[in-house]
Structure 1
Amino acid sequence: MDPRSEVVIRQHEYLSGRVLLVNAPTDELVSHLDPEITASLWTWNFNEFQYFQAQQSKVHFGVNLPENDFDQAIIFVPKSKELLNYLLHSVVTRLKAGDSVFLVGEKKGGVERAAKQLLPFGQASKLDSARHCQMWQMTVKATVTAKKLEDWAQYYPVQTPQGELTICALPGVFSQNRLDIGTAVLLPFLSQVTSGKIADFGCGAGVISAYLAKLNPKNRIFAMDVDAFALASTKMTFEKNNLSPEQLEITAVTGIEDAPLFLHAIVSNPPFHQGIHTDYNVSENLCKTARRHLKSGGELWMVSNRFLNYPALIEQNFGQCTTKADQQGFKVLFAHTQKKS
């Protein structure tokens, strides 16, 4: 059991009625709550969504609040301060004065800093502090009017040889307010990517997807991410740049195994964080199994931190790997499947 869940169970007498769990740990917390509590979950992580579905819990996946009503909410602190502001605002729009919002998190995850974000919405007090975790209770002082999702996005320009792109990034999305160095190193090589069916694995705010669509109107882009906020950001980026929605297919995935088959290319600045923790499994799996999703002569284009041993992994599975660039701490890697004669 996650220590954050243990804190919630210890303070179960504060919980009553219909309780919405936001960003909850993937454990058995729901089954340990009082039988009189009606629990539902909200997550934007596709892996977690599938976990809770398998538990037969009532779970909603997406960037917006679930439609079902609730009397209280427990928010487990996310990594992003901006995302927590969005979650708090969203939850309070559906509660009335006097209702409770609980905040739970690890001290190393910044729960004390996060607790200060409760103050605009009501009075807050600490209920528990143990096992390196804290639980806070905030009493809602007044209902808040919901803002549009677009109002939460940050916008920034990216210069490309095909002209300027405006990137739309929602709270919590990787590199929310500027182009990250890895993607900047990769961008000049995107014009070399073969045309056709292309997967942008770990699409983030849609920089790579939008540029590939702009390069060739006939490209069909499969934007794939585990994060619903990333997928929504990519869709917004396409709309903002007047790119054809017919070019884009948005897909929530757990890993490269969920990608379509017979792709002309896979392009990726792969993720390696799950919340506050580093996790290389997804990107290592990409190196090992990408070729299964490529057609004959299909290409893998990938940017990674210089210190990661991805070239060797790619070479083991493709037979070769070319380093196209090595700058600013990042490598652009290229491999292709053998063409059938």
Structure 2
Amino acid sequence: MSYPIDALIYALDVNPEINTDGRVLFLRAQEHPALQHFEGRLVCQQTWKPRANLLQAAGHRVEREVNGLFNLVLVLPDPQRDLMVADLARGHDHLAPEGILMAAVHNDAGAKRCEQYLREVSGHIDSLSKHHSRVFWATKEDGKPWKADILERWRQGAAMRRILEGRFWSRPGLFNWDRIDEGSALLAQHLPATIAGNVADFGCGWGFLSDHLLRHCHDIDSLDIYDADADCFECARRNLGLVPTRVKAQPHWQDITTGFERTKFDAVIMNPPFHEGKEADPLIGLKFIAAAAQSLRPGGQLWLVANRQLPYENLLAETFAQTEKVIETGGFKVLHAQNPIVQPTYSRRGKRRR
């Protein structure tokens, strides 16, 4: 399978003049063996924990937020339009004078559209096609500034903002960023006020379920919130900071599917994802359940919501002493399990290991 990063590396190979000796920034970075060419001068920006882990394992410097100017900025723009153009604006903002911004997008993810955006704001681009993708680049030339009004509009399009009549903060790119997910709303309706002790929200997003816990479960001693997307935490921090409670949520940038090494929690709540990109992958939810079993103390309880067709009940029955389906309605089901007895993990191939 071909990927935009392969096209990006190809463009660098056939245009050696772009491979300067200066500092290099890679926005929405992905691991590739050819990145070793930039050893000692590459900074990778990545807010998605699984990809950040791969980059770090390869020895690259990884940052969630980046400061400073770079001679070369590489970017793999997000397919969503607001994020796509915001990525181009971020790339521009980190360019040193005479620096080059190079982007790569898969043809099926809006490559021609993104290429036109960069041409529109910079005035001139070079481009090539490879690996079912388009690569295009522009230079930040002295005396030829990029269009400031367009850049500012692009920055604002991806900025954090108030949603739902000002009640919450969120930002484009997060799961259901501008509305309450139907499944999460159903789970909130059935969470008992008796949830207490040390509690965790797995896959917290911008914080809707955690907000509900802090407002309705007054015997919670601590709340740990976990997500693989670091972009969610500032929104969650603002949202949960508005709740009148003594409990301060502790954020953790973590890939839940890698599991936990120790037991800690009295209760875990979650609305686990079941897509990897556009492809449905029920294994993700199974890994979330396995991680919950690992993280719960004896007697601890798990509350989760899922699409009704997802096959979670068998694993719950294997890993918890008591399980029940609380409700099934409108395409969703709320499941409750208590007292973990087995703590399986799952390989990437989906085979169960004990």
Taking structure 2 as the reference length, the TM-score comes to 0.81
1:173-199 C-alpha deviation (Å, 9 max, x unpaired): 111111111112212012346112111
Q: What is aligned with 2:160?
A: 153
Partner SS state of residue 310, structure 2: coil
Separation in 1, partners of 2:215, 2:304: 19
Does residue 330 (structure 1) correspond to residue 332 (structure 2)? The answer is yes
Partner SS state of residue 30, structure 1: helix
Separation in 2, partners of 1:259, 1:225: 17
Separation in 1, partners of 2:246, 2:102: 39
Which runs of structure 2 are paired with 1:266-277 in the superposition (5 Å)? 266-277=268-279
Q: What is aligned with 2:182?
A: 181
Instruction: Name the amino acid aligned to 1:19.
Output: V
Change in Cα spacing, 1:269 to 1:126, as seen in structure 2 (3 Å) is farther
Separation in 1, partners of 2:269, 2:321: 18
Q: What is aligned with 2:43?
A: 40
Does residue 56 (structure 1) correspond to residue 63 (structure 2)? The answer is no
Q: What is aligned with 1:200?
A: 201
Partner SS state of residue 210, structure 1: helix
Q: What is aligned with 2:137?
A: 137
Partner SS state of residue 180, structure 2: coil
- RMSD over aligned CA atoms reads 3.0
Identity of aligned residues (%): 21
Of 293, 296, 302, the residue aligned with 1:291 is 293
Instruction: Name the amino acid aligned to 1:194.
Output: I
How many residues are matched? Answer: 327
Change in Cα spacing, 1:211 to 1:151, as seen in structure 2 (3 Å) is same
Separation in 2, partners of 1:34, 1:288: 39
Q: What is aligned with 2:27?
A: 22
Cα drift, residue 80 of structure 1? 3.0
Separation in 2, partners of 1:123, 1:150: 21
Partner SS state of residue 307, structure 1: coil
- Does the 8 A contact of 1:43 with 1:59 survive in 2? yes
1:110-150 C-alpha deviation (Å, 9 max, x unpaired): 32333344356313545121221111223443386989999
Cα drift, residue 271 of structure 1? 1.9
Separation in 2, partners of 1:123, 1:259: 53
Partner SS state of residue 197, structure 1: strand
Q: What is aligned with 1:3?
A: 3
Partner SS state of residue 115, structure 1: helix
Taking structure 1 as the reference length, the TM-score comes to 0.84
- Does the 8 A contact of 2:2 with 2:131 survive in 1? no
- Does the 8 A contact of 1:193 with 1:299 survive in 2? no
Separation in 1, partners of 2:83, 2:261: 27
- Does the 8 A contact of 1:201 with 1:223 survive in 2? yes
Separation in 2, partners of 1:155, 1:120: 30
